[in-house]
Amino acid sequence: MAAFKHKFQMYQHLANKQSEIYAEIRKAAPEVGMTAELAGKLGLTGAVSGCHGILTETVNRAMEEGARQVIPNSILNDEARAVVKDVYGDGWDAAVINTCEAALWVSFDVLCTPPNLGRGDSYRARYIAPYERHMHHQAGYGRPFPPKYKDLYSDRGVTAGELGFYGKRQPNLDTVIVPLKGARYEVHGIKYFTCPLLTKVDAEASAAEIAEVAARHQDSLTGFTSLGYDSPGYGYREKDADGAPLLQKLIGKIAAEYNVPYIVDNAWGVPFVGTDPRKIGADVIMYSMDKAAGGPTSGLIIGKEEVMVHIRRALGIHGERSGSSSSHGKAAYVTNDPGKEALLGVIAVLKGLRDNPQSILKPLDDLYTIVLEEFKALDPRLKEGWVISKATNSLSVELNYEATWTNGEMGYPIFSIEDMYAGCHVVQNGMKQMGIIPTIAYDGNIFVSPGLGTSDPDGNLIEERVRPAVRGMVKILNIVGRYAGLID
């Protein structure tokens, strides 16, 4: 295998060799246990939007039984609120919505955009976002500032222009993007693009930079945002004494000083057992309930009551004009109504998390053990620099390998998120060729979690189904590593 002088040449070589790589992966499928019976029926996570995880029997039963009963949706809205208040206290409230992206849309529109009513032109507003992963979600609702970031996520939607990601931007709203201290922003991948490499993020230095930027933009500042994840690969290695991600806690403190909301995107998170909004100073935190939480297709917004009044009004569930504490009617965002069955499923998930949170942590422990055992099959020449950790917030095992690139030496190929959207992510495509539904894997990071054909009806891990998938992933890593010229 030829050595590569420049990293882009390695990626070009991988692009040219894709057909050979995939042929070898298909041939290797039987030897790792990926039989024809399993192919296409299990994956490394149930947390991707294109292929949702399977509901547990408890959640499925709650939805089926409730679907055949006459229950006003306002009653279900209030039941979800009550469970959240049981855990977080009476100063917190909740709203169920159809997706997490809808939750972001409503939250930014309600809390950060300028008002439309009143004489004169609307003023411009800005919210601050640290430069982290999948910015097209939490940082995609304003026009990027400084302008060098204006094309940062132009190709991350199937549709371009006004009907794509750009079309969701709010009027007169800007997103101020702040690079994180200690992070590396390097260009990688077949679709050569900047990858945020975040394991060395310095939380205090980054917060100081964010505070300085906030001071420069204070005249138009209307909010802050970040992800709510807790893992090293997402930049949240450093924790406070109470276990909260330190950078998130510091951002929450800055937001409070400016009296503007801190909006936390925790799509791949689990309420109650994951990141605690009270500990990080979040005003609202939102979840995709069909990902790590194991619920039906839906989203959930949890926030401080003062803030949630306005969000719930926008959803038409806060109360009638004639006077009531809740309702289920028309408003600006009635298009994001989750529906009765989704409400039933979310309530069942929340009750399970409230009453027996440990039950969902055991599958994570079991998965972590399996990943460590199967990872031993990775070629020793590829292993240096890999960090494997449990991410409780998302009930996942994170495999991060950005540290394989050190001292100017080429490491394991890092595929960008642009590769994922463009369909040229060789490792993810290799999973498809082996019959494994791919997991989230980009920017030197791979997440593995239960839920996609690897769990029983009670949510317990099925070892004989998850091992072939993990073993197959490791085999793919070996094959791609060889074609990248890292091993003979």
Q: What pLDDT digit, counting tens, does each position of 418-430 carry?
A: 999 999 999 999 9
- Look at residue 53 in the predicted model and tell me its pLDDT: 78
Mean pLDDT within 354-361: 89
- Look at residue 324 in the predicted model and tell me its pLDDT: 83
What are the structure tokens assigned to 144, written together? 């990027």
- Look at residue 54 in the predicted model and tell me its pLDDT: 82
Integer CA distances (angstroms), 127 to 145, 172, 174, 253, 311, in order: 10, 11, 6, 15, 18
Assign 3-state DSSP to the chain and report helix, strand, coil percentages, each to 5: 40, 15, 40
Say which DSSP state 22 is in: H
Q: Do you find a cis peptide bond into 146, omega within 30 degrees of 0? A: yes
- Look at residue 193 in the predicted model and tell me its pLDDT: 95
Residue 228 has pLDDT above 80, yes or no: yes
- Look at residue 49 in the predicted model and tell me its pLDDT: 64
Mean pLDDT within 184-201: 97
Residue 1 has pLDDT above 50, yes or no: no
pLDDT confidence bin for 166, thresholds 50/70/90: confident
- CA 237/CA 244 separation, integer angstroms: 10
Q: Which of 180-189, 435-444, 449-458 has the lowest mean pLDDT?
A: 449-458
Nearest residue to 140 via CA among 99, 182, 119, 112: 112
> What average pLDDT does the chain have?
94
- Look at residue 79 in the predicted model and tell me its pLDDT: 97
Say which DSSP state 461 is in: B
Share of the chain above pLDDT 90, in %: 81
Q: What pLDDT digit, counting tens, does each position of 266-281 carry?
A: 999 999 999 999 999 9
- CA 250/CA 256 separation, integer angstroms: 10
What are the structure tokens assigned to 236, written together? 């949240």
- Look at residue 76 in the predicted model and tell me its pLDDT: 96
- Look at residue 164 in the predicted model and tell me its pLDDT: 85
Max CA distance (Å), the chain = 75
Share of the chain above pLDDT 70, in %: 99
pLDDT winner (highest mean) among 52-56, 312-316, 451-455: 312-316
- Look at residue 32 in the predicted model and tell me its pLDDT: 93
Tell me, what amino acid is at 304? K
